[in-house]
């Protein structure tokens, strides 16, 4: 979840690392810190809160080698003492991941005289390296790593030594060499424009980074060759380009993301179609927003391709007691490609013989390296923590895959999808509904079929960025419990875009209104608009094929969540307690 970055070169390490942390802040923003080697000694600045709090102090750090960290708190509250970097003796470390046996290690180290200054699991790492250090930082880091259980990506520095050692196990690390400098980081955006090629570390790899070289080793200190990959992250400005927030900027980038994703699918279409040949079990999985896209993938395969499919949260799929086999296809959906539960579910199914298709926005991620085939999501960098354009692009990829696997039995003009999203964002009037949401004690989203999957996503988006309690439900479940919550202080939002199921969802709207509840209806269907005109808040969406409607209704609900956050004075780009890439379980 956290973001780490290291630099060795001839530039000002403090400034370079600060800029990198700004580009990694979506990975966590509870606290941040920078350590720079200056005249043989390590200087550290760190603080609870956003990276920008380090701006002034980062400029004052002198030196050409340094590491930095932006934190999403797991162990220990977000405050100054728990902020990284952590230091012990001559050793300074930043860490992303979770050390599962940290309590045991901490107890052993404390018994032998070690003093701990934080509540974190990470602090055991510099303590161990410092104890093992005998003049070779790589050797000490390897000895430390052998004692750790869990996941880690850590960067270590030593006083008087102008190198950085990186270690990787179940958390991402990339390294790259520029002109008279070298870098290491959690993610590509921090290295955009810095180095033409990257090396993706594998589990058990260690890298030694200096101004003039990047060398990779295994746990026995033997050199390892990793094939370089093109640094696909474009030089990205953090400018908002006239938009007040990244969330709304990226919402408007959804049409291009969908268009690019549909175009890219042509390059893998034949392989994707072949992957399902002879399969007797198809599973879609993901976490959070990606799981909601997976639910739509299940619907698309069942209804468009005529192939029975299931969908399950990745964190639950791993523990249901059933594994795949050679006739199983697992479709793993993840924006970052590093989501821990999804990656581990994919690894489990791949090891059982199943084919794994990764639907991801990051072609060099962990999930892409595990997968049999990567189905590209071409959304580009997404800075806002709440997914918008990446979700739309995931839907497009899954719809294209289902249509291809159907063998031409179903024909849908997906080329019109980008225009439909643009039309929705241009024409929709969501302000009155946003005010209703902001005043409501709870907001419940409901739909049937593919509309139910979108209802879940609408509810999640509103909770993420506005902190309003609520939930997403199938419309038919309203009378099986949720109806007890309906009164004049709660709002029910119904998505009705499936003409075949519209009458049943309309019944649920009537049940809500008859009990004095506030209701809103988002629909592509003129008859539904007429039915509830002046009785509920009706949001008219562009008419379209029901299988394209999730792109339209999702855009409307994402815009709704954004407007509610603004009304309530929330920061939609960095919701409290959240991070974009969940790399811990």
DSSP labels for 496-564? E--TTTHHHHHHHHHHHHHTT-EEEEEES-HHHHHHHTTTSEEEE-----TTTHHHHHHHHHHHHHHHH
278: confidence class by pLDDT, cuts 50, 70, 90: confident
Per-residue pLDDT, 583: 62
d(Cα 112, Cα 289) in Å, to the nearest integer? Answer: 46
Active site residue: 249, 298, 389, 580, which one? Answer: 580
- The percent of residues in the chain predicted with pLDDT above 90, rounded, is 82
pLDDT reported for residue 408: 77
Q: Which domains occur in the chain, in start order?
A: 3-230 (3.60.20.10), 239-411 (3.40.50.10490), 425-585 (3.40.50.10490)
Tens of pLDDT, residues 507-547: 999 999 999 999 999 999 999 999 999 899 999 999 999 99
Q: What is the pLDDT of residue 584?
A: 64
**pLDDT digits over 130-156, tens only?**
999 999 999 999 999 999 999 999 999
Extract the tokens encoding 373: 């085939």
Name which of 63, 128, 62, 65 is nearest 95 in CA terms: 128
Active site residue 362: no
Q: Which of 2, 144, 437, 497 is catalytic?
A: 2
Q: Are 182 and 211 in contact (CB under 8 A)?
A: yes
Q: What pLDDT score does 60 carry?
A: 84
d(CA 125, CA 68): 16
Angle at 104 between CA 103 and CA 106, to 5 degrees: 65
Q: Specify whether the CB–CB gap between 373 and 271 falls below 8 A.
A: yes
Alpha carbon distance 378, 532 (integer Å): 38
- Mean pLDDT over 259-282 rounds to 95
User: Does the annotation mark 580 as catalytic?
Assistant: yes
E strands present in 159-293 = 161-169, 174-178, 181-185, 197-200, 206-209, 214-217, 229-230, 281-286
Mention every residue, 6+ apart, whose C-beta is less than 8 A from residue 254. 388, 389, 392, 393, 421, 425, 551, 555
End-to-end CA distance of the chain: 10
What DSSP state is assigned to residue 390? H
Mean pLDDT of the chain: 93
Q: Exposure of 220 by Cβ count < 10 A (0-12 exposed, 13-18 middle, 19+ buried)?
A: exposed
């Amino acid at each position: 979840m956290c973001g780490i970055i290291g630099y060795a070169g001839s530039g000002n390490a403090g400034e370079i690392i600060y800029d990198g942390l700004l580009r990694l802040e979506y990975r966590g923003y509870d606290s941040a810190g920078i350590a720079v080697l200056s005249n043989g000694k390590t200087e550290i600045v760190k603080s609870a809160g956003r990276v920008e709090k380090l701006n002034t102090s980062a400029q004052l750090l002198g030196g050409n080698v340094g590491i930095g960290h932006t934190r999403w708190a797991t162990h220990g509250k977000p405050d100054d003492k728990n902020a990284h970097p952590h230091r012990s003796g001559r050793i300074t470390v930043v860490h992303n991941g979770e050390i599962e046996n940290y309590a045991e290690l901490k107890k052993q180290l404390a018994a032998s005289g070690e003093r701990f200054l934080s509540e974190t699991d990470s602090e055991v790492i510099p303590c161990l390296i410092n104890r093992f250090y005998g003049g070779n930082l790589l050797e000490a880091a390897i000895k430390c790593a052998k004692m750790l259980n869990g996941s880690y990506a850590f960067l270590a520095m030593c006083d008087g030594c102008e190198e950085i050692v990186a270690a990787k196990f179940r958390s991402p690390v990339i390294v790259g060499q520029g002109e008279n400098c070298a870098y290491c980081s959690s993610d590509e955006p921090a290295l955009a424009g810095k180095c033409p090629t990257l090396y993706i570390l594998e589990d058990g790899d260690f890298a030694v980074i200096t101004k003039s070289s990047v060398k990779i080793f295994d746990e026995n200190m033997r050199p390892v060759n990793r094939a370089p990959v093109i640094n696909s992250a474009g030089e990205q400005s953090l400018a908002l380009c006239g938009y007040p927030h990244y969330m709304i900027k990226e919402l408007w980038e959804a049409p291009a993301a969908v268009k690019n994703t549909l175009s890219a699918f042509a390059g893998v279409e034949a392989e994707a179609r072949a992957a399902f040949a002879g399969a007797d079990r198809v599973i879609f999985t993901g976490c959070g927003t990606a799981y909601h896209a997976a639910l739509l993938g299940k619907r698309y395969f069942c209804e468009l391709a005529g192939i029975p499919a299931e969908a399950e949260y990745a964190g639950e799929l791993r523990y249901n007691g059933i594994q795949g086999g050679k006739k199983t296809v697992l479709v793993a959906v993840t924006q970052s490609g590093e989501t821990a539960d999804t990656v581990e579910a994919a690894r489990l199914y791949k090891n059982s013989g199943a084919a794994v298709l990764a639907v991801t926005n990051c072609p060099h991620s962990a999930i892409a390296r595990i997968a049999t085939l990567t189905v590209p999501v071409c959304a580009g960098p997404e800075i806002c923590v709440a997914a918008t354009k990446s979700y739309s692009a995931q839907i497009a990829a899954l719809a294209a895959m289902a249509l291809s696997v159907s063998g031409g039995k179903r024909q849908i003009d997906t080329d019109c999808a980008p225009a439909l999203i643009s039309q929705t964002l241009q024409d929709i009037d969501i302000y009155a509904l946003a005010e209703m949401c902001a005043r409501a004690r709870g907001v419940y989203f409901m739909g049937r079929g593919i509309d139910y999957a979108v209802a879940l996503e609408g509810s999640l988006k509103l909770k993420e960025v506005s902190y309003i309690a609520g939930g997403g439900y199938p419309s038919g479940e309203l009378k099986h419990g949720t109806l007890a919550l309906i009164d004049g202080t709660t709002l029910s939002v119904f998505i009705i875009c499936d003409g075949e199921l519209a009458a049943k969802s309309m019944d649920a709207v009537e049940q809500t209104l008859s009990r004095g509840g506030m209701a809103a209806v988002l629909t592509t269907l003129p008859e539904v608009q007429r039915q509830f005109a002046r009785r509920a808040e009706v949001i008219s969406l562009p008419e379209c094929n029901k299988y394209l409607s999730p792109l339209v209704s999702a855009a409307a609900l994402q815009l709704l969540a954004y407007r509610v956050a603004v009304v309530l004075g929330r920061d939609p780009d960095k919701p409290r307690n959240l991070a974009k890439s969940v790399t811990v379980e």
